[in-house]
Amino acid sequence: MEVVEVMKFGGPEVLRTRRAEEPVAGPGQVVIGVSVADVMSLDAQLRAGWGREWFGNEPPYVPGTGVAGRVLSAGDGVDAGWVGRRVAAFVPGGGYAERVAAEADRLVAVPDEVPSWQAAALVQVGPAALSLVAAAGLRPGSRVLVTGAGGALGLPIVRLAAAAGARVTAAAHGPAKRAAALRMGAAEVIDYPALGAAETTGDRALNEPEATGDPALNEPETTAATGTTGSTAAGTTGRAAPEGFDVVFDGVGGEVGGAAFELVAPGGTFFAYGVPSGSPAPVDRERAMRRGVRLVGMEQVQFAPDEFRRLAEQTMREAAAGRLTTVVGLAVPLERASEAHAALAARELVGKALLLVTAQAVRYRAHGGPEVLALEEIPLPRPGRGQVRVAVRAAGVNGIDWKIRKGLMGAPPAGPQGTGIEMAGTIDALGPGVTGRRLGAPVFGQVASGAAATHVIAEADALAAKPDDLSFEEAAALPVAVGTARRVLRELGLRPGLTLLIHAVAGGVGLAAAQLALAAGARVIGTASERHHPHLRGLGVHPVTYGDGLEERLPPNEPIDLVLDASGRGELDMSVKLTGDPDKVITIADPLNAGRLGVRFSSGGGHEAVPIEHVRIPIAETFPLDRAADAQRRSEEGHFLGKIVLNTEGFLPR
């Protein structure tokens, strides 16, 4: 298996990937096949050499204390029912790995509704947030201040406190963090100077914290510390903060924490659980007693195994119900752990950083109906020479996908078979010999197979840069349609001034061919359902309805020079009659009748990047990745405008 280890104390560059022996479950343990590993700022601090006197880590060692994945084996004394289940776990170390041993009493089942990335992001901060908010005893109307509100722990605290009916003021540095806090339910957001603390841009006092469920691991989460004071649509960031908070959750400490303490109303509660400034908030305990302010420290986020498990189970239930979440600001493959650490050091993150170990892919093992498709977890694919790996944001659905799946094209699969041949996403790994590409670049293009996945391998030269004015879904709808349309128009010999009839002009290929032909100076007539006619007229197409009597509905006194059949519903005989020559007709959908009539059947083509000038295809419907079967079923039904697209957002954090 592969692990990421700290070679020596130093910067993020001291992290390296190496092969290691797989762990074996001892008594009371399980072995987890890791899907996602949590990244804590403590990991980065220990890597740099901080805290050696308390933690005792000496290189080389494997960092990481929170994971989500699937149980592969169980040791003595552990219920065998855990094997095969999806879980999240707190581990004492070694989480940056493809496999990890975990104590069964630090294990929690992950509900089907919670993706593994969300489980990993919450397994440590969720229990802490629940513990803190429960201890606060919030009531509707309670006035709450949260410092470090843009961090991995601050954001779920804001969410839970707002859900309890409290009026939450979120203090965070930087517009992205404040915007995230507003989305979590904060009534207003402020910057730290508004608390009465000095402006300390770039100081560690502005790092956003997180806490864990273990006494040894309650250290701060570092996130972005940049941004300027200003106004937001839903909260002011530059004015003085309200006074008299019933509860203050201070995850920052230092001067910021001290200023926040001064805003606690008499009889209120001050929670201090983070010290990213290097010191706790300077609180005068005698003054707190005189004001009747209850002081609660790190003990509130330190849990015995039974308490951790109870809170972790509650975390997963709340996450499944949509009541508890945090923000993932960065998710990169395991081998790029150094980037996650660098982002933490640069304080650039809102919320969490995660390491991805596996991918999700739609696959099937036998020909059949849509029901043979299943979403499966697979190892992250590795790019070969001249290839890149793309983190897929959207994948197009095409007729060829379900034709192959049904067995209409090609031999039965000899093993697991992916589906989908076009996608858009961001490059997240480069194979040997790849130049002119960069990690994180948004791209789109065609692949051999398997685009319906969170990650896919593509030939580097088959990808094009995604234009800024196209969404990922819009870009994913283009490669096959545009590539096919260009090929068939070239084979037809389209020239300016000719009239082209396109059967099924409202489909992806039909729309692409129509727009390309119009841009080339041709006239386009297209068959389509009447509800799509307004859109087609807006493109410059002359639309006519399907069905009997089509010839009478065509424009009078206008000969048809060329025909593209993208329908396959028996229009070839009439098309040959209209043009008077089978060489002037081409089909991409009716090979049987094409052979009978001497009409060209055009299929295949390379996976080279194709230009998309003059072409935009509307998105008919979008389905999540786990509903790929429904998407292909809808594609097979037909009679929609544009393309059907799969979206991976729920299965891969961005």
* Span 377-417, pLDDT tens digits: 999 999 999 999 999 999 999 999 999 999 988 889 999 99
What single-letter DSSP state applies at residue 345?
H
- Amino acid letter, residue 577: K
Q: CATH number of the domain at 360-478, please?
A: 3.90.180.10
Query: Regarding beta strands 374-379 and 86-90, do their DSSP bridges make them parallel or antiparallel, or are they unpaired?
Result: unpaired
Q: Listing from the earlier edge strand, what are the strands of the sheet with 417-418? A: 374-379, 358-364, 417-418
Between 567 and 229, the higher pLDDT residue: 567
SS3 of 12, please?
Answer: helix
Contact 185, 163 (CB under 8 A): yes
Q: Kindly report which listed range (345-349, 401-405, 562-566) carries the lowest average pLDDT score.
A: 345-349
Residue 604's pLDDT band (boundaries 50, 70, 90)? confident
Token readout for 415 is 């093993």
d(CA 294, CA 285): 9
How does pLDDT run across 511-529, given as a tens digit for each residue? 999 999 999 999 999 999 9
Q: Would the pLDDT of 569 be above 60?
A: yes
Residue 206's pLDDT is what? 36
Residue 197's pLDDT band (boundaries 50, 70, 90)? low
Residue 231's pLDDT band (boundaries 50, 70, 90)? very low
Contact 351, 159 (CB under 8 A): no
Contact 120, 67 (CB under 8 A): yes
Beta bridge partners of 424: 394, 444
Given this structure, which CATH class describes domain 2-121+327-355? alpha beta
If you average pLDDT over residues 112-140, what whole number do you get?
A: 96
DSSP 207-260: PPP---SSGGG--PPP--------B-SS-BSSSPPPS-EEEEEESS-HHHHHHH
Given this structure, which CATH class describes domain 482-601? alpha beta
Q: At what angle do helices 305-320 and 125-136 cross, to 10 degrees?
A: 90
**Among candidate residues 115, 83, 97, the one with its CA nearest the CA of residue 37:** 97
**Among candidate residues 550, 551, 579, 553, the one with its CA nearest the CA of residue 564:** 579
Distances (CA, A) of 260 to 160, 171, 464: 20, 10, 50
Half-sphere exposure of 222 (CA within 13 A, CB side): 21
Return the CA Rg of the chain.
29
Residue 241's pLDDT is what? 52
Residue 605's pLDDT is what? 65
Contact 587, 572 (CB under 8 A): yes
Query: Regarding beta strands 387-397 and 455-459, do their DSSP bridges make them parallel or antiparallel, or are they unpaired?
Result: antiparallel
CATH topology agreement for domains 360-478 and 482-601: no
Give how far the C-alpha of residue 442 lies from the chain's centroid of Cα atoms, to the nearest Å.
14
Q: 10 CB contacts (<8 Å, ≥6 apart)? A: 47, 48, 49
Query: Regarding beta strands 542-544 and 107-109, do their DSSP bridges make them parallel or antiparallel, or are they unpaired?
Result: unpaired
Residue 273's pLDDT is what? 87
d(CA 342, CA 62): 17
Task: Indicate left, alpha or beta for 435 from its phi (over 0: left) and psi (-120 to 50: alpha).
Answer: beta
If you average pLDDT over residues 340-368, what whole number do you get?
A: 92
Residue 242's pLDDT is what? 57
d(CA 274, CA 601): 67
d(CA 588, CA 299): 68
Residue 210's pLDDT band (boundaries 50, 70, 90)? very low
Contact 18, 92 (CB under 8 A): no
CA 517, 523, 526, 532 torsion-angle sign: positive
State the Cα torsion 85-91-95-101 to the nearest 10°. Answer: -60
CATH 3.50.50.60 fits 126-305, yes or no: no
Q: Which residue, chain included where needed, has tokens 């490059």?
A: 427
What single-letter DSSP state applies at residue 305?
H
Q: Where are the alpha helices (DSSP H) in 58-169?
A: 116-122, 125-136, 154-163
Q: Domain spans of the chain?
A: 2-121+327-355, 126-305, 360-478, 482-601
What single-letter DSSP state applies at residue 61?
B
How does pLDDT run across 429-458, given as a tens digit for each residue? 999 999 999 999 999 999 989 999 999 999
CA 103, 106, 109, 115 torsion-angle sign: negative
If one counts every other C-beta atom within 10 angstroms of the C-beta of residue 176, the result is 20
- Amino acid letter, residue 382: R
Q: Would the pLDDT of 178 be above 60?
A: yes
DSSP 534-549: HHHHHHT-EEE--STT
CA 83, 324, 298, 252 torsion-angle sign: positive
State the Cα torsion 565-569-570-575 to the nearest 10°. Answer: -20
Q: Kindly report which listed range (27-36, 45-54, 55-64, 130-139) carries the lowest average pLDDT score.
A: 45-54
Tell me the whole-structure pTM to 2 decimals: 0.86
d(CA 147, CA 153): 10
SS3 of 357, please?
Answer: coil
Residue 486's pLDDT is what? 95
**Among candidate residues 312, 343, 345, 375, the one with its CA nearest the CA of residue 631:** 375
d(CA 55, CA 206): 24
Residue 204's pLDDT band (boundaries 50, 70, 90)? very low
Q: 205 CB contacts (<8 Å, ≥6 apart)? A: 192, 197, 252, 253, 254, 255, 256, 276, 277
d(CA 247, CA 256): 15
ω before 282 within 30° of 0 (cis)? no
**Among candidate residues 331, 628, 634, the one with its CA nearest the CA of residue 452:** 628
